[in-house]
Amino acid sequence: MAEEILLIAGVAIAVLMIFRMYVRGARCKSKTKLHGKTVIVTGSNTGIGRETAVDLARRGARVILACRNQVRGEAAVAIVQREGGSKNVVFMQLDLASLKSVRSFAETILKTERKLDILINNAGVYMQGTTEDGLGLMFGVNHLGHFLLTNLLLDRLKECAPSRIVTISSHLHDYGNLNFDTLRTHKEFGVGESAGSVFRIYSHSKLCNVLFTHELAKRLQGTNVTCYSLHPGVINSDLTRNMNKMSRRLLKPIAALFFKDVEAGAQTTLHCAVQEGIESLSGRYFSDCAVQKVKAKAKDDAVAKKLWEVSETLCGLS
């Protein structure tokens, strides 16, 4: 009897291990080294961003951790230096919920860094709130802050071409919709109260990431700067930290079993950042280290153009 139980337990563990391997998903196969290259990763003090930074440091890049909190940012520098086996990792303060902070970060970069080869727009929030500028928090951080940041650094990226811009979206962009009337009043972009509206607003902001990349690729034609958006997988990160206690408790065991870990979560970002030969796919959306089809609304030329123009107005670029 005891033997049977042991056998069943053994089989169960084996099945679980195979299942976990399957859950890990596709891996970035590129061996590209990045000595002499500079990379910025936003929101890299934890989660997918920090894991991405470790891998880029291992490849020899100078890695700039663009994070909003100095204490968390500097703690991450120590971890990325140790795990990445490189001293060439620095923290620079960037709060994407403040357009002023984005401007001052870009100014510092342009003044102090000669090179910029890869920009990774990774930071993201899944919570209600408003930015310093009075915009919905998820729209402001996930889209608009990165929109301004990218635009301010674009000339430097062009000078350093071939270079890349990678923006972390989500599969949830599928559930997003852009309604420019509500965008104008900002209502749909941050002041909803119910859990359902968090999900909806997050999805809108992630649709913005895909459409931004779609339009950016067009504007970058002929520059040798390419750009990609992506879904990292469903990852056991800190993203759910602002959910209520009950939801987090429920999610925890599910996440441990079914979600990928952050190291697996960094793979598609790394693929888009370093894989050789994907330049002709500029503007496209990736998942599992491969280009994916998106719905018509996520590659609508007119909507993408309009989002670009509205974003320019909102962050004072036009």
Ligand X SMILES: NC(=O)c1ccc[n+]([C@@H]2O[C@H](COP(=O)([O-])OP(=O)(O)OC[C@H]3O[C@@H](n4cnc5c(N)ncnc54)[C@H](OP(=O)(O)O)[C@@H]3O)[C@@H](O)[C@H]2O)c1
108 in the Ramachandran plot: left (φ > 0), alpha (ψ -120 to 50) or beta?
alpha
224 lies in the site for ligand NAG, by CB under 6 A: yes
| 170-199 positions binding ligand X, by CB under 6 A | 170
Residue 167, contacted partner among ligand NAG, ligand X, none, CB below 5-8 A by kind:
none
Structure tokens at 215: 């339009």
Q: In what order do the strands lie in the sheet with 163-168?
A: 89-93, 62-67, 38-42, 118-121, 163-168, 225-231, 285-287, 290-292
Which of 34, 12, 229 has the alpha carbon at shortest distance from 115?
34
| 158-177 positions binding ligand NAG, by CB under 6 A | 161
Amino acid code (one letter) for 235:
I
* Residue from the set 88, 223, 240, 242 that interacts with ligand NAG by CB under 6 A: 223
3-state secondary structure of 225: strand
155 lies in the site for ligand NAG, by CB under 6 A: no
Beta strands, E only, the chain: 38-42, 62-67, 89-93, 118-121, 163-168, 225-231, 285-287, 290-292
Is 22 among the residues known to form the active site? no
Q: Give least dist CB 119 to ligand NAG, A.
A: 17
Per-residue binding letters, 259-298, with ligand X (x by CB under 6 A)? ----------------------------------------
CA distance 164 to 150: 11
Q: Give least dist CB 222 to ligand NAG, A.
A: 6
Residue 46, contacted partner among ligand X, ligand NAG, none, CB below 5-8 A by kind:
ligand X
Residue 168, contacted partner among ligand X, ligand NAG, none, CB below 5-8 A by kind:
ligand X
- Beta strand 290-292 with 285-287 is antiparallel
Structure tokens at 210: 């895909």
Residue 141, contacted partner among ligand NAG, ligand X, none, CB below 5-8 A by kind:
ligand X
Active site residues: 202
Q: Which residues bind ligand NAG (CB under 6 A)?
A: 161, 222-224
Q: Which residues bind ligand X (CB under 6 A)?
A: 42-43, 45-49, 67-69, 72, 94-97, 122-125, 141, 168, 170, 231-232, 234-235, 237-239
